[in-house]
Amino acid sequence: MRNYLAVLFVWFTITISGQTNFEGIIKYDLAFHDKTGKMDDDQAKQFMGSEQTYYIKGNKYKSSMNGMLKVTQYYTGRDTLYNQMLGVNSLMFIDAKQKNEEVLSIDIKKNQLNVAGYTCDLLEIKTNKGTMQYYYNESIKVTPEDYKNHKYGLWFYCLEKTGGALPLKMVTDVTSLKLSIEAKSVEIKNLDNSIFEIPKNLPLVESPKL
Q: Give pLDDT, residue 18.
A: 41
> All domains of the chain, ordered by start, with CATH?
2-206 (2.50.20.10)
CB 200: neighbour CB atoms within 10 A?
A: 6
Q: Calculate the alpha carbon distances from 13 to 81, 129, 158 in Å.
A: 15, 26, 13
CB burial class (10 A; 0-12, 13-18, 19+) of residue 179?
A: buried
Is the separation of the CB atoms in 81 and 70 below 8 Å?
A: no
What pTM does this model have? 0.83
Q: Are strands 15-16 and 130-141 parallel, antiparallel or unpaired?
A: antiparallel
d(CA 110, CA 180): 20
Strands (E), 58-101: 60-65, 72-75, 80-84, 91-95
Nearest to 198 by CA among 50, 78, 21, 28: 78
Q: What pLDDT does residue 26 have?
A: 84
Q: What pLDDT, on a 0 to 100 scale, did the predictor assign at position 1?
A: 52
Report the pLDDT value the prediction gives residue 17, as an integer from 0 to 100. Answer: 38
**Residue 152: per-residue pLDDT:** 92
How many CB atoms within 10 Å of residue 197?
12
> What pLDDT score was predicted for residue 210?
55
Per-residue model confidence (pLDDT) at position 143: 81
pLDDT along the chain (210 residues), means of 10: 45 39 85 94 95 88 94 92 93 92 97 94 97 92 86 93 90 95 89 93 84
